[in-house]
Amino acid sequence: MDALVIGTIIKVVLVLLVVSALAGFGTYIERKVLAFMQRRLGPAHVGPFGLLQIAADGIKLFTKEDIIPQNANKFIFSLAPVITAATAFIALSAVPLFPTFIIPESLPLIGGAIVPSVIADVNIGILFVLGMMAAGLYGPLLAGMAQANKWGILGSARTAIQFLSYEVVTGLSVLAPIMLVGSLSLIDFNNAQIGGVGSWIIWQQPIAFVLFLIAGFAETNRTPFDLLEHEAEIISGYVTEYSGLRWGMFFIGEYSNMFTISILAAVIFCGGYGDIGFIPGWLALLLKVVFFFFLMLWVRASWPHIRPDQLMWLCWKVLMPLAVINIVITGIVVMI
């Protein structure tokens, strides 16, 4: 066992714990921000500022009876939430979370060790993250198919076409930045934008940025694309029959996907963890991620959601041709 193996395992456990806690904290922030935008108080009674609401929700989810309905395929029914949560976390393994730093020499045992910014420094970073988020589709799909319920099957069919369609837009929108940088590794993306705010890719690729953000909203099931759990049409979609922590697993997966999309938008388009003036890199990345997370909540408070046919219309007839034209124009401009 060398230092790299132990370091990787420690980092994986830390990321698992921190992101799980952040997913819980994300639900609290979402409720609080939405409440303030609608001139309500939000969770306010459990603990200071309602902060212990997260713990209360956790206890509630943990002690609710776990019902597997009749007729459901029991193995796939219990596997589906694990797939959703696990793929959302595995996608984080190729995303840089902080600048590379060296532990001070004064600390015993681990002093002087270099901590890399990613868990696994693979050279196909973006492809891996997008592929893993696409593999997360198997969670909702299997959940809907296994429960033998008409709302579940409709919800999973909607999930499938929404994720698949917007997967095309995500892939096409990141192609133009890849052409500029010439690498798939997210660390190379960060290094290409090291020269301050002026060198951010967002100024060269504004269309790609907007397309990526829209597709990211659709892939994480945020308003205005939250058609998968639409009470008036399909009850709860693919989570209709789930209860207790199995239901909570889908939410942990969804919120950690929101964090992944926020970090990706920050790293690919907005300079990653490069320093901005006096702000150190890790704080800059944190601020950008918090901003994109807040943007998702802001949009939820401001927009009604759209119809499924409008969703498909927007993806295939507007965003997809726009992304292809953006790639062709980028290619010609770079060549000239």
Partner 1 sequence: MTHIVTEHPYFGIFVLFVLTFVAFSATLNLQRFISRKLARLDTEKLKMSIYECGPEVTKQPNTISVQFYLIALLFILFDVEIIFMFPWAVDFKALGWFGLVEMILFILLLAIGFLYAWKKGALEWHSIK
- Kindly tell me which residue out of 4, 21, 197, 279 binds partner 1, with binding defined by CB under 8 A: 4
Q: Residue 142: name the closest of 132, 161, 157 by CA.
A: 157
From CA 7, how far away is CA 254, in angstroms rounded? Answer: 28
Min dist CB 171 to partner 1, Å, is 4
Residues 100-159 that bind partner 1 (CB under 8 A): 100, 114, 116, 118-123, 127-128, 145, 147-151, 153-154, 157
- Give Cβ neighbours of residue 96 (< 8 Å, ≥ 6 apart): 117, 118, 186, 187, 190, 263, 267, 272, 273
By C-beta, is 56 or 161 nearer to partner 1?
A: 161
Long-range contacts of 331-336 (CB under 8 A, 24+ apart): 331/179, 334/179, 334/180
Residues 206-245 that bind partner 1 (CB under 8 A): 235, 240-241, 244-245
Min dist CB 273 to partner 1, Å, is 9
Min dist CB 82 to partner 1, Å, is 5
The number of C-alpha atoms within 13 Å of 279 and in the hemisphere containing its C-beta is 15
Q: Is the CB of residue 121 less than 8 Å from the CB of residue 139?
A: no
Q: Is the CB of residue 244 less than 8 Å from the CB of residue 66?
A: yes
**CA angle at 81 for the pair 78 and 84, rounded to the nearest 5°:** 145
User: Under the criterion CB under 8 A, does residue 280 sit at the interface with partner 1?
Assistant: no
Residues 20-79 that bind partner 1 (CB under 8 A): 61-67, 69-72, 78
Which span (40-48, 93-101, 201-209, 212-220) binds partner 1, by CB under 8 A? 93-101
- Kindly tell me which residue out of 29, 51, 56, 99 binds partner 1, with binding defined by CB under 8 A: 99
Q: Supply φ then ψ for residue 115, to 5 degrees.
A: -105, 110
Which span (25-33, 186-194, 213-221, 288-296) binds partner 1, by CB under 8 A? 186-194
User: Under the criterion CB under 8 A, does residue 270 sit at the interface with partner 1?
Assistant: no
User: Under the criterion CB under 8 A, does residue 283 sit at the interface with partner 1?
Assistant: no
